[in-house]
């Protein structure tokens, strides 16, 4: 017998935004926005998740500029008038279907491959020009003027997100991209005020949050996604101890973030020795802010193995329910299960678990 799942379907508030349940669609890059403009197929894809009862939809990563942020064809931006117009339609359709949605703002930083981008002559941006720490810099460290530009571009993208009619915005500060290249001491070797200790390494993100807050006001929730793990090293611990984790999160909380989205590949894995709390559990305990967890919900295998061809089978939600009933974290993001099946939340709510589907990489090529 599976545990009852009511906890997943109780409302939750982030500031003045009331979510009808605890299920969040995880941000997933789909590369279906031709010319970086989300079209009718992308609009319908998000609308289907709202109709399927998802509490909060987070968009795929959306670029805050069309140059240094962009290394992946057909990933949308929120800069050009056409892209803004496309997103306005998405926001309005999701709202009409009773959903809440935010854009995830994503600067690819050192994971942008200039050769594959529309601007191969423009170097990629990151704290110290490092992609793989041990292999030496690929580019020059960002200048202070470039850091200033990057901050202002994130702020403008968050303002544009609000103007397009979305309920919130998420800054992508995880997975080794631009913001994360500042957080991690192995890729941030700077000796100026943007590097060094946690105060220095969180300064860029804190500036983005603080300046955005003054522009969007108190009632537009701002979320930041962070991860201990890095693309270069799945076992990396950006913060080695809860004390360090607090030093990472506190400046972001002080700057005005409303919620932390702690990315891990398996939600049940403890973040530190001596406690079974996961990263979102610790973030909630240390900051008192709402937190979102994620990672292999409802599926047997984790997402990076999916790319290698592993097929994940539907899996029990018992452990998730247990952790949420205990109050470890507030919201749970679901990636592949919702990519595959827009009705996933509704099937879980109504106990139709025999209708849940397995996930294979074939799903990546389709906007179900």
Ligand X SMILES: Cc1cc2nc3c(=O)[nH]c(=O)nc-3n(C[C@H](O)[C@H](O)[C@H](O)COP(=O)(O)O)c2cc1C
Residues that bind ligand X in the complex, under the rule CB under 6 A: 26-29, 60-61, 104, 106, 172, 174-175, 225, 263, 294-297, 299, 302-303, 334-337, 364
CA dihedral 229, 230, 235, 236 (to 10 degrees): -90
Q: Catalytic annotation on 111? A: no
CB 240 → ligand X: shortest distance, Å?
22
Closest residue by beta carbon to ligand X: 335
Please identify which residue in the block is written with the tokens 């611990």: 237
CB 296 → ligand X: shortest distance, Å?
4
What gap in Å lies between CA 333 and CA 227, rounded to an integer? 14
**Residue among 46, 111, 177, 368 flagged as catalytic:** 177
CB 145 → ligand X: shortest distance, Å?
27
CB 65 → ligand X: shortest distance, Å?
16
Closer residue to ligand X (CB): 43 or 263 = 263
Closer residue to ligand X (CB): 90 or 334 = 334
Q: Is the distance from CB of 314 to CB of 298 less than 8 angstroms?
A: yes
What are all long-range contacts of 150-154, with beta carbons under 8 Å and residues at least 24 apart?
150/68, 150/107, 150/125, 150/178, 150/204, 151/204, 151/207, 151/208, 151/211, 152/211, 153/64, 153/65, 153/69, 153/107, 154/64, 154/105, 154/107, 154/208, 154/212
Closer residue to ligand X (CB): 228 or 296 = 296
At residue 208, the 3 state secondary structure works out as: helix
What gap in Å lies between CA 262 and CA 228, rounded to an integer? 8
Task: List, by residue number, the catalytic residues.
Answer: 177
């Amino acid at each position: 017998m599976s545990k009852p799942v009511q906890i997943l379907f109780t409302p939750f508030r982030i500031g003045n935004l009331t979510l009808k349940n605890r299920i969040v669609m995880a941000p997933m890059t789909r590369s279906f926005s031709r010319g970086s403009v989300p079209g009718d197929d992308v609009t319908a894809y998000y609308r289907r998740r709202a109709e399927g009862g998802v509490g909060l939809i987070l968009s795929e990563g959306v670029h805050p500029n069309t140059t240094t942020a962009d290394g992946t064809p057909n990933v949308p931006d929120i800069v050009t008038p056409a892209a803004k117009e496309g997103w306005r339609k998405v926001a309005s359709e999701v709202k009409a279907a009773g959903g809440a949605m935010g854009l995830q703002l994503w600067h690819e930083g050192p994971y942008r491959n200039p050769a594959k981008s529309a601007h191969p002559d423009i170097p990629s941006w990151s704290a110290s020009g490092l992609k793989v720490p041990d292999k030496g810099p690929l580019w020059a460290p960002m200048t202070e003027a470039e850091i200033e530009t990057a901050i202002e571009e994130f702020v403008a993208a968050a303002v544009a997100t609000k103007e397009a009619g979305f309920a919130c915005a998420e800054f992508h500060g995880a997975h080794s991209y631009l913001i994360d290249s500042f957080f991690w001491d192995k890729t941030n070797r700077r000796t100026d005020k943007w590097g060094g200790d946690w105060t220095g390494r969180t300064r860029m993100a804190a500036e983005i949050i603080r300046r955005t807050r003054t522009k969007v006001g108190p009632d537009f929730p701002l979320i930041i996604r962070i991860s201990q793990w890095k693309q270069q090293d799945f076992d990396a611990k950006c913060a080695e101890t809860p004390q360090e984790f607090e030093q990472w999160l506190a400046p972001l909380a002080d700057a005005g973030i409303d919620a932390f989205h702690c990315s891990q590949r398996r939600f049940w894995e403890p973040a530190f020795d001596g406690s079974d709390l996961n990263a979102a559990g610790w973030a909630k305990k240390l900051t008192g802010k709402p937190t979102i967890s994620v990672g292999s919900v409802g599926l047997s295998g984790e997402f990076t193995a999916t790319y290698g061809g592993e097929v994940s089978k539907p899996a029990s939600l018992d452990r998730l329910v247990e952790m949420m009933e205990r109050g470890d974290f507030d919201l749970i993001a679901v990636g592949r299960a919702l990519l595959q099946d827009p009705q996933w939340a509704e099937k879980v709510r109504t106990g139709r678990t025999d209708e849940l589907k397995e996930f294979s990489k074939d799903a990546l090529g389709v906007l179900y």
